[in-house]
């Protein structure tokens, strides 16, 4: 396993991380969640990501239970705040009230005194930026948070945040959590150059495009039962990936992966990790065997011919 600095900070994260968005506290029972998380740690994964909104606190609870017994200094724990946690008008957003109350609830669920990385899950148009940045700085001063970050903020919003922090001598954000994969490369044009300049590292989500890049969704065939794609309740990014032209193009990656002696999923993760501004790729896993396969991507180096073949196979379906 390779470990990289998060931006210009001193903390190092495993290049393959483990998330809990669609799994722990929902799809996976407690015993399997614990076994999967513990196996990830045994294989060198030290970065675990969650959010308060994941199954309305259940994701944090399951992760906290699974990490019990592992020395707190041996892993990097990240969670997020923003989305509504109830119908209460103030139980949402990035106000001082919501953040101060949310961090204590997250710490309780995670069974820890502090989180390593506390991230703003989206930008809050209804709360002044200075209010959000000042309360994050207060949490760092209080020792409840070691580093701060953002998820899915626009480049202009990130720039405004770092400029304000510099001007007022506040703790700076060091983490950005955007979607990034072979099919979705939107961050390359503006966000990555900005973050490289400002010392912010990417901890990217959906490196497998919701599982589409694993090759399990076949063009012209029914969606696999029990898959996220077949779940009528599923929404968000996966719907955009389940287009026939995209699925057909993705199948063109199979011979490329076979020629390299790796799985399609490993190739997709390895591609993400080749970007210099990417600190870690947050993967999902419902069982230990999936983690064992995913972490192998940390040691895979894709040559120029393979990279060229990937881009050729995906011509016309890449979103820049």
CA distance 313 to 212: 15
310 close to 182: Cβ distance less than 8 angstroms: yes
Q: Does residue 82 carry a catalytic annotation?
A: no
| CA gap 202, 222 in Å, rounded | 35
Take residue 135 and report the two structure tokens written for it: 């309360």
Tell me the C-alpha distance between 11 and 4, whole Å: 8
> Residues with Cβ < 8 Å from 196, sequence gap 6 or more?
276, 277
Q: Which helix (H) or strand (E) holds 238?
A: helix 237-241
Q: Do residues 145 and 114 make contact, with C-beta atoms less than 8 angstroms apart?
A: yes
Q: Which of 54, 123, 217, 241 is catalytic?
A: 54
Contact (CB, 8 A) for 121 and 80: yes
CA–CA gap between residue 178 and residue 153 (Å, rounded): 8
**What is the full DSSP assignment across 112-176?**
SS-EEEEEESS--TTS-HHHHHHHHHHHHHHTSEEEEEESS--HHHHHHHHHHHHHTTPPPEEEE
User: Could you give the C-alpha distances from 46 to 3, 58, 148, in angstroms and in order?
Assistant: 9, 21, 18
H helix or E strand, kind and range, residue 241: helix 237-241
DSSP assignment of 181-193: SSSB-GGGTTHHH
Give me the active site residues, please: 54
């Amino acid at each position: 396993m390779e470990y990289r600095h998060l931006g210009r900070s001193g903390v190092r994260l495993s290049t393959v991380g483990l998330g809990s968005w669609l799994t722990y506290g929902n799809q996976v029972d407690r015993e399997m969640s614990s076994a999967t998380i513990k196996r990830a740690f045994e294989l060198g994964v030290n970065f675990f990501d969650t959010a308060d909104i994941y199954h309305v606190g259940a994701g944090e609870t399951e992760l906290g239970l699974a990490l019990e017994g592992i020395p707190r200094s041996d892993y990097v724990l990240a969670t997020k705040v923003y989305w509504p946690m109830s119908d209460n008008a103030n139980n949402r957003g990035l106000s001082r009230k919501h953040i101060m109350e949310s961090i204590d609830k997250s710490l309780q669920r995670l069974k820890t005194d502090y989180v390593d990385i506390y991230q703003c899950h989206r930008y809050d148009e209804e709360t002044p930026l200075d209010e959000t940045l000042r309360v994050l700085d207060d949490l760092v001063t209080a020792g409840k948070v070691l580093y701060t970050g953002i998820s899915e903020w626009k480049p202009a919003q990130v720039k405004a945040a770092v400029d304000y922090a510099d001007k007022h001598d506040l703790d700076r954000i060091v983490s950005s959590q955007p979607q990034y994969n072979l099919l979705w490369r939107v961050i390359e044009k503006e966000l990555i150059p900005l973050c490289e300049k400002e010392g912010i590292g990417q901890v990217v989500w959906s490196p497998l495009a919701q599982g589409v890049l694993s090759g399990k969704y076949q063009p012209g065939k029914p969606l696999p039962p029990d898959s996220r794609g077949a779940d009528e309740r599923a929404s968000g990014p996966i719907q955009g990936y389940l287009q026939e032209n995209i699925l057909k193009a993705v199948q063109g990656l199979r011979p490329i992966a076979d020629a390299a002696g790796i799985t399609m999923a490993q190739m997709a993760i390895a591609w993400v990790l080749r970007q210099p501004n990417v600190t870690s790729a947050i993967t999902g896993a419902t069982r230990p065997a999936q983690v064992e396969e995913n972490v192998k991507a940390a040691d895979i180096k894709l040559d120029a011919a393979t990279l060229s073949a990937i881009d050729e196979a995906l011509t016309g379906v890449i979103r820049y």
